[in-house]
Chains A and B, each alone.
Chain A
Amino acid sequence: NAGVTQTPKFQVLKTGQSMTLQCAQDMNHEYMSWYRQDPGMGLRLIHYSVGAGITDQGEVPNGYNVSRSTTEDFPLRLLSAAPSQTSVYFCASSYSKADLGQLSNEQFFGPGTRLTVL
């Protein structure tokens, strides 16, 4: 298994540009999520999904869109990049509570995408 993969590893954007960060997992996990990590702030949840066709907002959703058309893929879209979105972005996946009888579970993380917005 490849686990959780993210592309690209690095990206530089100009203010106002749009782009999509890709995330894919091959573990048949229902739950997927996106975090951003900034110095001194830890990880903050952007959006998450409990299954195909279902997404919800996390702590810091503004400026980002997500969709979940398949179980495997969970792309994160920046609609109009701003310097405040300069960060390292991590995608994670796990089995869902529904699969584990309400017992929560280990998150598997991708290697991250380092994004700089000029």
Chain B
Amino acid sequence: SQQGEEDPQALSIQEGENATMNCSYKTSINNLQWYRQNSGRGLVHLILIRSNEREKHSGRLRVTLDTSKKSSSLLITASRAADTASYFCATDMVWRRDDKIIFGKGTRLHILP
């Protein structure tokens, strides 16, 4: 079964608006990562947040992590057409000694002109 679940499954917003997508997971983690996938391409790493961090920024991206609720959110501010893509969270479970990470099903983001 998949560890992370993104919400919503799909999101359409106007260019310039902010986009927020969420990820919930089931078991305690070492860290959580967000990836972007443009249509027909491989995944690209966006940001990693560790379990002892609560918020992290990278350019127009803001990620929060609430370990008590086992959830994370990705905020993209001032969206652009180029942000149209699928976004995935990936988690590394704390009880595992190996490097296995598990991806969620993703949120499809569409930026309207």
**Chain A interfacial positions (CB closer than 8 Å to B):** 4, 30-31, 33, 35, 40-45, 48, 50, 56, 58-59, 90, 92, 94, 96-97, 102-112
- The 8 Å CB contact of B92, one of A48, A104, A108, is A104
Give chain A residues whose Cβ lies under 8 Å from the Cβ of B1. Answer: 59
Annotate B66-109 by CB proximity to A: 1 below 8 A, 0 otherwise. Answer: 00000000000000000000001010100001111111111000
Known interface pairs A48-B99, A94-B99. Does A107 touch B45 (Cβ–Cβ under 8 Å)?
yes
**A109 x B44 contact (CB < 8 A):** yes
Whole-angstrom CA separation of A112 from B90 in the bound complex? 18
**A45 x B102 contact (CB < 8 A):** yes
Q: How many A-B contacts at CB < 8 Å in the complex?
A: 72
**A40 x B41 contact (CB < 8 A):** no
- The 8 Å CB contact of B99, one of A35, A50, A112, is A50
Closest beta carbon of chain A to B50's beta carbon, Å: 7
Give chain A residues whose Cβ lies under 8 Å from the Cβ of B102. Answer: 45, 59
Give chain A residues whose Cβ lies under 8 Å from the Cβ of B40. Answer: 112
Known interface pairs A40-B105, A103-B50. Does A45 touch B31 (Cβ–Cβ under 8 Å)?
no
Any chain A CB within 8 A of the CB of B43?
yes
Any chain A CB within 8 A of the CB of B59?
no
